[in-house]
Amino acid sequence: MSEKAKVLSDLKIDGNCTKFGALSVLHVLADLGEADILAVTACFKSPLAAGCIKALNRYYGRPDLPVGILHRQDETHPTPFMEPVNKTFCTDHPDGEDVADTVEIMRKTLAAQEDGSVRLVVVGCFASVAALLESGPDVYSPLTGQELAERKISGIYNMGGSFDTCGDTPFAENNIVVQIPSAKYVTEHWKGLLVHSGYEIGIRTRSLKEFRFHGSKEHPLRMMYEINDGEGFAEGNPSWDQTAVLEAVRPGMYFDRHAYGRMEITDDGLTVWHEDDTSRHTYLLPKVPFDEVAAVINDMSFPEWRDFL
């Protein structure tokens, strides 16, 4: 077995459920002994974001994981499932003001880890990462955010961008467009490993078709998919964010990677790869059939998997 992945997870709560689907997959990988979840943060401020995260953490038996929200990022992306999930599974944070800040959680977490040991999974925009890189010294570390990240993070794994991997015409993908300045800042200042799982990968990996009917009623994710079923994907739900988690914890098992280079974010949000031997930016390429990847996600999302541990 390869070395256990130490994962710091940052997510954006928006109109689809795949961010929490990704967090569920990460919890299962931790249960399987393949990952160690260090903390879970959100890339914007929301009074309900921390509650949704904590609901899933509790379901998987990790109620004490550090949780943060990005207080400086006032814009929110309300979803129909956030309030019901909070009312049903977690009523800890009615206003969110008592939740630690994402940058504080990230800095505290990174400072406590060995150099080059942390894999940062970003299933959403780059607001949190940009804020981390721009941060100054604090009680947790005398290093700047840039210095701390470069010392502690072995790679950033992001669901974001759109590439011509599968013959599609690239477009300005939502996780980039929602925070273009942050995406620009990160790609310009982070020269280390940056792995994008593009839109074209997740849209072809269709999973959890029946989860809203057959998932455990005790699972907050089932409520999310039940309420959000208006997405209407008859062949199953896209697995955009789950693919980034799988690559972070099981690199090379399901996907190949494009050659390393430099990622440019254009003013209108396109992700453009350039040949550059000073950066290690890349994006995922298909390797195994998409339905096989979807089957892995399905196996990890239904509670019955526990019977086979």
pLDDT tens digits for range 240-259: 999 999 999 999 999 999 99
**What is the distance between the alpha carbons of residues 261 and 191, in angstroms, rounded to a whole number?**
9
Residues 86-143: tens digit of each pLDDT: 888 886 755 556 899 999 999 999 999 999 999 999 999 999 999 999 999 999 999 9
HSE-up of residue 249 (Cα within 13 Å, Cβ side): 24
Phi, psi of 193 (to 5 degrees): -65, 120
pLDDT score for 308: 38
Least Cα distance to 285 among 306, 264, 242, 255 occurs for: 255
Integer Cα distance of 156 and 194 in angstroms: 5
Burial class (CB within 10 angstroms; exposed 0-12, middle 13-18, buried 19+) of 1: exposed
Residue 81 has a pLDDT of: 86
Question: Residue 66: what pLDDT?
Answer: 97
Quote the percentage of the chain above a pLDDT of 90: 70
pLDDT band for position 309 (cuts 50, 70, 90) = very low
Residues 6+ apart with CB under 8 A from 233: 206, 209
Alpha-carbon distance 308 to 270, whole Å? 43
Question: Going by DSSP bridges, is the β-strand pair 271-274/193-197 parallel, antiparallel, or unpaired?
Answer: unpaired
- How much is the average pLDDT of 214-235? 75
Please report, for residues 18, 128, 193, 230, 260, the alpha-carbon distance to residue 280 in angstroms, rounded to integers and kept in the order given.
26, 20, 5, 38, 5
Phi, then psi, of 284 in degrees rounded to 5: -75, 145
Q: What are phi and psi of 93, to 5 degrees?
A: -125, 80
Specify whether the CB–CB gap between 294 and 240 falls below 8 A: no
Instruction: Identify residue 11 by its one-letter amino acid code.
Output: L
5-302: CATH, from 3.90.470.20, 3.90.245.10, 3.40.50.300, 3.40.1160.10: 3.90.245.10
- What pLDDT does residue 94 have? 55
Q: Are 122 and 157 in contact (CB under 8 A)?
A: yes
The encoded tokens of residue 199 equal 């839109």
Digit-coded pLDDT (tens) for 6-50: 999 999 877 678 899 999 999 999 999 999 999 999 998 877 888
Range with the lowest mean pLDDT among 65-74, 128-137, 212-221, 300-309? Answer: 300-309
In the chain, what are the domain boundaries?
5-302
- 3-state SS class at 262: strand
pLDDT at residue number 307: 43
